[in-house]
Amino acid sequence: MGEETFTMSLHISAKSGEIAPVVLLAGDPLRAKFIADNFLQDPQLVSSTRNIYFFTGHYNNTRVTVGASGMGCPSIGIYSYELYKEYGVECIMRIGTSGAYLPEINVYDLINAERAYSESTYARSAFGFTEDHFYHQGNAYTVINETAKELNIPVLTGPIHSGDPFYRAEPGLPEIATTNDLLAAEMEAFALFANAKYFRKTAACLLTVSDNIVTHTMISPEEREKSLHVMMKLALEAAVRI
């Protein structure tokens, strides 16, 4: 018998065929595990390289993969690049947390990112893209909005900020946020959208507001990991409609 052949990327050890066409990417590996344990039927751990978990199972009889991206544009840039290129993934939906830039936005509010602005050099270095923002790619953004309406789940839409630094020396909001009327800050969507544009794939970013940068309200680290059920359910319900 010949040796088994399979596709394996540098940072994801799943075999060829073990990653579903639609992938939900959380930043935190433990959030990915929580979703797999609590929402998927018969989840199988298909990769754990560097303790970045990927699980493939079924939700409403549709095969879905849930994994982790780590934090920041370089990290999600690696994982989404390999998912699109090496595993033939068609759609990646980031499911993460964000810090609101507007006082009227509350913790636990959901944001479906229309576009992501950033000062990051990721897209220029990787692809020669010179834009300071990228839109969501494909139909996932619209599907999320339509699914939220069906489920009567309120969702905010608009532009967000994918910042490189989490901690900033200068007080107040960064200039890119005030100039472009951005709703909230996170750290990954810009690179995900750039990769999807390059590969002509689908990408969306659904966020739960975990803190408000203006009012200083926030949820705990434990709640970030496990108490984001509304976002998780909406993402999965949208995933089976894509």
**pLDDT confidence of residue 1:** 40
DSSP lists the bridge partners of residue 62 as: 59
Lowest mean pLDDT of 47-51, 73-77, 168-172, name the range: 168-172
Res. 221 pLDDT band, cuts 50 70 90: confident
- The amino acid occupying position 46 is V
What pTM was estimated for this model as a whole? 0.94
6 versus 231: which is more confidently predicted?
231
Residue 234 confidence class, pLDDT cut points 50, 70, 90? very high
Residues 44-68 have a mean pLDDT of 97
Q: What angle in degrees, to the nearest 10, is found between the helix axes of 29-39 and 229-239?
A: 70
Q: For the residues 86-115, what does the mean pLDDT come to?
A: 97
Active site residues: 211
Give the C-alpha separation, 24 to 207, whole Å. Answer: 12
Measuring CA to CA, which residue among 239, 238, 193, 207 is closest to residue 80?
Answer: 193
The DSSP element (H or E) to which 179 belongs, if any, is helix 175-179
Statement: residue 5 has pLDDT above 60: no
Is residue 53 within 8 A of residue 164, CB to CB? The reply is: no
Residue 3 confidence class, pLDDT cut points 50, 70, 90: very low
Taking residues 93-121, what's their average pLDDT? 97
User: Which pLDDT score, from 0 to 100, does residue 227 have?
Assistant: 65
Q: What average pLDDT is seen over the chain? A: 94
**Burial of 30: CB neighbours in 10 Å, binned 0-12, 13-18, 19+:** middle
Say which DSSP state 3 is in: P
Indicate if the pLDDT at residue 198 is higher than 60.
Answer: yes
Arithmetic mean of pLDDT, 21-35: 96
